[in-house]
Amino acid sequence: MGVYVFRTDVLLKLLRWRYPTSNDFGSEIIPAAVMEHNVQVPKFEFYDPKTPFYTSPRYLPPTKIDNCRNALLNHSIVGERSRLDYGVELKDSVMMGADSYQTESEIASLLAEGKVPIGIGRNTKISNCIIDKNAKIGKDVVIVNKDGVEEADRPEGGFYIRSGITVILEKATIEDGTII
């Protein structure tokens, strides 16, 4: 679908009197109007920071929630390409998602090596949290700020707390069994 600008009188003339049975501007009306009207095609720059051009929507598979009947999502937003494992509880949280998927075999390999894959691991409980992109949260982790800390800087631990909200950093790894 294109964007066209017409003088009202010319458009009405084209639609009412000249081409009443036409169905498409781009293939019927505009090519025919070139013969009788001042039709112009201005140069268009597709990359201009002042006037961004947005591309087609992404056609991506949905977020993967393994054994979702055993996951609890309450007042939360889960971003694209997110992975939530069995028994995850996510409450009042935002999970930004990931830039890419890890395959089942990659996930199994990481787990066998004792590493944490991207996403949220089994039986992890998270509340009142913002999880940045590509974060790796292990199994049996608890992120609930049970002590009600208002402000904390723990970049070495992969998180900050701001106004009582835990923020997991981009690409951070929260190891299995961690309690925040």
Domains of the chain are 1-55 (no CATH), 64-174 (2.160.10.10)
Both tokens of 123, joined, read 């039986």
Write out pLDDT tens, residues 53-94: 666 666 666 555 555 568 889 999 998 888 899 899 999 999
Judged on CB neighbours under 10 Å (0-12, 13-18, 19+), 125 is middle
Write out pLDDT tens, residues 43-64: 666 556 676 666 666 666 655 5
- The position carrying tokens 């081409």 is 19
105 alpha-carbon distance from chain centroid: 24
Write out pLDDT tens, residues 19-49: 677 777 777 878 878 888 888 776 666 556 6
